[in-house]
Structure 1
Amino acid sequence: VCTQCGCTDIDTDPARGDAVCTGCGSVLEDQIIVSEVQFQENSAGGASVVGQYVSAEGACGKSMNLGGGFHHGIGKESRQITYQNGKRRIQALGSQLKLNQHCIDTAYNFFKMAVNKRLTIGRRSNQVVAACLYIVCRTEGTPR
């Protein structure tokens, strides 16, 4: 149950290691430790380990990814998919608002910055897209 809104619809993602309320977007848990080891195959045919490893020597509460080299490639593929989906949604909403291409490109740059700074985790993508377009409209002085 979400401590913020009381919603019982919680999205738990073992690959990311977090639990997010789908009602309000609050991150309820992060760095969830899994007890089993699973492997997942990427589109290039490589394999990666899903889960997190916590050292017995103590990493001071921090966790490391198991199989870091392989998992790193998966993250880049996932990030590229996130970029593509964000660009598509920004383009669609920007055209509905009749924004010029410069504003749409600037909003996409804000979106990429938000993804790189990990500000999109636990937030709905349509709200992030709307916020990026809103920032551009305000900074460019475009009344929408």
Structure 2
Amino acid sequence: MSGKKCKHCGSSEIEVDPARGDAVCTNCGSVLEDNIIVSEVEFQENAHGGSSAIGQFVSAESKGGASGFGRAYVGIGQESREVTLRKAREGITALCQQLRLNQQCIDIACNFFKMALSRHLTIGRPANLTQAACVYMTCRTEGTAHLLIDISDALQICCYQLGRIYFKLSRKLCINIPPTGKCFFLYHKVANERAAT
């Protein structure tokens, strides 16, 4: 930052670190700029002779700024979307195993989540509720004997919040959910009574 001075102490000793993407006053320690985006690519050599790019990953699909609010990307070529999908698959798999659902149901729920993510329907919603709503959509479309209360009990989350997210996602994704008849609730009640005895 040639010619620049620290606005806190007036020092002109400013250190720019492209690896961190910031500019720091070496006199007082104030961070003057962060998330600096540079157009050139620099590489550094590690102790084993390999090289890696210096800086932060900025996705071509992002609308300005570095991905992850200035954090360095997680792995070589691994974007935030891939990390989100991996974590969602782990959460969905754990819930489906708890509900004794098969691999086909896990894959369908993950596809529902992927659709929601691509349409930006996951923004502002807790990840576990979105994943649970995708699992419930799968249960309804596949005709399993699970109710919304089963999923909310398994995750210890509010049934009403889960229901609201489920309805919003199913409506926005245009998923045709078959209606639930009274016999389905009776079957569920009898199954729970048998499990209790």
TM-score band (shorter)?
0.5 to 0.7
How far does residue 38 in structure 1 lie from its aligned partner after superposition?
Answer: 1.9
SS of residue in 2 equivalent to 1:65? coil
Equivalences for 1:1-144 in 2 at 5 Å? 37-39=34-36, 45-48=53-56, 64-66=63-65, 77-144=79-146
Q: Please, which runs of 5 or more residues in structure 2 have no aligned partner? A: 1-32, 38-51, 147-197
- Larger relative contact order, structure 1 or 2 (CA cutoff 8 Å, min sep 6): 1
- State the one-letter code of the partner of 1:106: I
The two structures have a TM-score, normalised by structure 2, of 0.40
SS of residue in 1 equivalent to 2:117? helix
> How many residue pairs align between the two structures?
91
How far does residue 66 in structure 1 lie from its aligned partner after superposition?
Answer: 4.9
The two structures have a TM-score, normalised by structure 1, of 0.53
How far does residue 48 in structure 1 lie from its aligned partner after superposition?
Answer: 3.7
Q: Please, which runs of 5 or more residues in structure 1 have no aligned partner? A: 1-35, 51-63
Q: Measured at CA, do residues 140 and 116 of structure 1 come closer, stay the same or move farther in structure 2, by a change above 3 Å? A: same
Counterparts of 2:57 and 2:141, CA distance in 1: 43
Which string of whole-angstrom CA distances, capped at 9 and with x for unpartnered residues, describes residues 26-84 of structure 1?
xxxxxxxxxx55248xxx6342488xxxxxxxxxxxxx51579xx9xx59611110011
Counterparts of 1:49 and 1:110, CA distance in 2: 27
Q: Percent identity?
A: 46
Cα RMSD between the aligned structures? 3.2
Q: Measured at CA, do residues 39 and 48 of structure 1 come closer, stay the same or move farther in structure 2, by a change above 3 Å? A: farther
Structure with greater strand share of residues:
1
Counterparts of 1:99 and 1:66, CA distance in 2: 40
